[in-house]
Amino acid sequence: MTESAAGGLKTAVVCGGAGFLGSHLCDRLVADHRVICIDNFHTGRRRNVAHLSSRECLVLLEHDIVEPLSLAGENIDRIYNLASPASPVHYQSDPLRTVKTNVLGVLNLLELARHHNARFFQASTSEVYGDPLEHPQRESYWGNVNPVGVRSCYDEGKRCAETIVYDYRRQHDLEVRTVRIFNTYGPRMLADDGRVVSNFIVQALAGRDLTVYGQGTQTRSFCYVSDLIEGMVRCMEQEEFSEPINLGNPIEFTVSDLARQVIRLTGSASKLTYGALPEDDPKRRLPDITLAQRHLNWEPAVPLEDGLCRTVAWFREAGQA
Ligand code: NAD
Ligand code: UDP
């Protein structure tokens, strides 16, 4: 499965490999791949992969994917593209950079894949469904996205990235895989990246009130990182299905439910405070994972309470650093 055409270990490039999900993917791939991790350290951190690069399990290259790259002299079998800011706070802080990463960056990586005849994996997002009018969201749903709103640099950037990926398949016969990732959490999230799980845990551990936006009735489903990485690798390595596949936890929680769980699991005395709901914040989000069950034999195994306990433990130890 992980042998290259020449018979040695497959070489995998992980773009965005120093980020939250990318670093967990690198941890997984080094067991049976040569791994080249590419990152510009915009939201990623060298420390996330330092344990791999120092043992020479992985080659770490600083590069912004908005610029072309050739990796001449390498034989690349797999390219995973996770390079993009993912938290609303980060992707909205420099929206043009977000668009460039998701459009020009994806074009550059697809050219790299074409040059090496490598299989290409695109980390897409539930945000392609926008503020969905269908519930739960199936892959066949085309979405409800505000094309000129504050989230559109990311939503439309990722939608355009999917377009480019499937045009490369149509026009150049490139092998492609795409997963649409729903909210995922776990160790190595940045303490200050503004996402709800990290915000609530950091606030609860510090004894500060938890900042619920709106009434807290909006919903999300929360997938633990190890489950997601398993689904990503299964998607890349299965041979039959190249259309986009949802990966996420099919259990829906309100944001207030999540806040109360975090307070309970941390034993914090924090209370909830209520603030303004961000513009275009999706009201309900829940994946239909029938395709992932059928084609990848995948579904999440880690219940929210277990995943939150592991994440809280990590933030207590390392996450505030
Ligand atoms: P992250 O911000 O931790 O990781 C993104 C990584 O990409 C960082 O290491 C960052 O430095 C790097 N990067 C950004 N722009 C780059 C550029 N131009 N060139 C090179 N590197 C660049 O976020 P994450 O949560 O690990 O998300 C990884 C991917 O998964 C993203 O593409 C994101 O859109 C997607 N995703 C994540 C979630 C989630 O819940 N975590 C949900 C949906 C989609
Ligand atoms: N949210 C919140 N308090 C916070 C951070 C986020 O209530 O401190 C809400 C946010 O408005 C959204 C949900 O939690 O409804 C998930 O937000 P996140 O930024 O994690 O991801 P999104 O799914 O919006 O991309």
If you measure from the C-alpha of residue 220 to the centroid of ligand 2, how many angstroms do you get, rounded to a whole number? 9
| In the chain, domain spans | 10-182+223-249+287-301
Residue 140's pLDDT band (cuts 50, 70, 90): very high
Q: Is the CB of 195 under 6 A from ligand 2?
A: yes
Residue 79: pLDDT above 90? yes
Task: Give the DSSP letter of residue 278.
Answer: P
Q: How many angstroms separate the CA atoms of 258 and 23, rounded?
A: 25
Residue 15: pLDDT above 70? yes
Task: Give the DSSP letter of residue 128.
Answer: G
Query: Residues 178-237: pLDDT tens digits?
Result: 999 999 999 999 999 999 999 999 999 999 999 999 999 999 999 999 999 999 999 999
Query: Residues 296-308: pLDDT tens digits?
Result: 999 999 999 999 9
Closest ligand by atom to 64 CA: 1
pLDDT of residue 56: 82
Q: Do residues 262 and 204 lie in contact, with contact meaning Cβ atoms separated by under 8 Å?
A: yes
Q: How many angstroms separate the CA atoms of 303 and 284, rounded?
A: 20
If you measure from the C-alpha of residue 147 to the centroid of ligand 1, how many angstroms do you get, rounded to a whole number? 21
1-15, 38-52, 151-165: least confidently modelled range:
1-15
State the catalytic residues. Answer: 154
The CATH architecture of the domain made up of 10-182+223-249+287-301 is 3-Layer(aba) Sandwich (3.40)
35-44, 53-62, 70-79, 144-153: least confidently modelled range:
53-62
Average pLDDT of the residues in 153-165:
98
**Angle at CA of residue 48, ends 118 and 126, nearest 5°:** 60
Residue 35 bridge partners (DSSP) = 12, 58
| Exposed / middle / buried, residue 276 (Cβ in 10 Å: 0-12, 13-18, 19+) | exposed
> pLDDT > 70: what percent of the chain?
98
Residue nearest to atom 21 of ligand 2 (CA): 195
| Exposed / middle / buried, residue 177 (Cβ in 10 Å: 0-12, 13-18, 19+) | buried
Query: Residues 105-119: pLDDT tens digits?
Result: 999 999 999 999 999
Q: Hunting for tokens 């992985």 — which residue is that? A: 58
**pLDDT, mean over the chain:** 96
Q: Is the CB of 274 under 6 A from ligand 2?
A: no
pLDDT of residue 94: 98
Four-residue CA torsion sign, 7, 36, 233, 235: negative
Q: Is the CB of 193 under 6 A from ligand 2?
A: no
Four-residue CA torsion sign, 81, 302, 44, 23: negative
Closest ligand by atom to 220 CA: 2
Task: Indicate the length of the chain as a whole number.
Answer: 321
Residue 37 bridge partners (DSSP) = 14, 60
Q: Is the CB of 20 under 6 A from ligand 1?
A: yes
If you measure from the C-alpha of residue 21 to the centroid of ligand 1, how many angstroms do you get, rounded to a whole number? 7
pLDDT of residue 57: 82
Pairing label, strands 210-213, 184-185: unpaired
